[in-house]
């Protein structure tokens, strides 16, 4: 497992993640991870996306991911309501952060 310290305007985070990507696209690779800090979010599962070859210069580089996730969350909510499922579909909110160090 690798460990990354991450800074956001909302606070500092620490995440342990598998250094081997579970998914890869044209511009990014994705790793599974678990938050270990802050305490109130300890154990929360996360997906870490890393740009290939360079870094994202602005929030606009993530606009498609954010819109897709928001759209999927809205559709899942409608499905959950209409189907009255006992196992609702859930999506995690995107939390953008800059990785300040990797151990």
Supply the CATH number for residue 17's domain. Answer: 3.30.200.20
pLDDT of 91 above 80: no
pLDDT tens digits for 3-38?
877 766 667 888 888 889 999 988 788 888 888 888
Specify the number of domains making up the chain. Answer: 1
pTM above 0.85, yes or no: no
**Section 49-64 average pLDDT:** 70
Average pLDDT over every residue of 83-94:
83
Quick: pLDDT tens for 35-53. 888 888 888 888 888 877 7
Contacts of 17 (CB under 8 A, 6+ apart): 1, 2, 3, 4, 31, 32, 33, 34, 46, 48
Which domain, by its residues, includes 58? 2-102
Average pLDDT (81-100) is 79
């Amino acid at each position: 497992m690798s460990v990354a310290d991450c800074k956001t305007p909302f606070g500092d985070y620490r995440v342990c993640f598998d250094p081997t990507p579970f998914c890869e696209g044209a511009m990014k690779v994705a790793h599974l991870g678990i938050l270990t800090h802050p305490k109130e979010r300890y154990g929360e599962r996360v997906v870490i996306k890393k740009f290939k070859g360079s870094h994202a210069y602005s929030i606009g580089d993530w606009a498609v991911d954010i819109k897709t996730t928001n759209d999927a969350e809205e559709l899942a909510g409608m499905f959950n309501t209409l189907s009255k499922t006992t196992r609702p579909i859930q999506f995690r909110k995107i939390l953008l952060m800059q990785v300040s160090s990797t151990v």
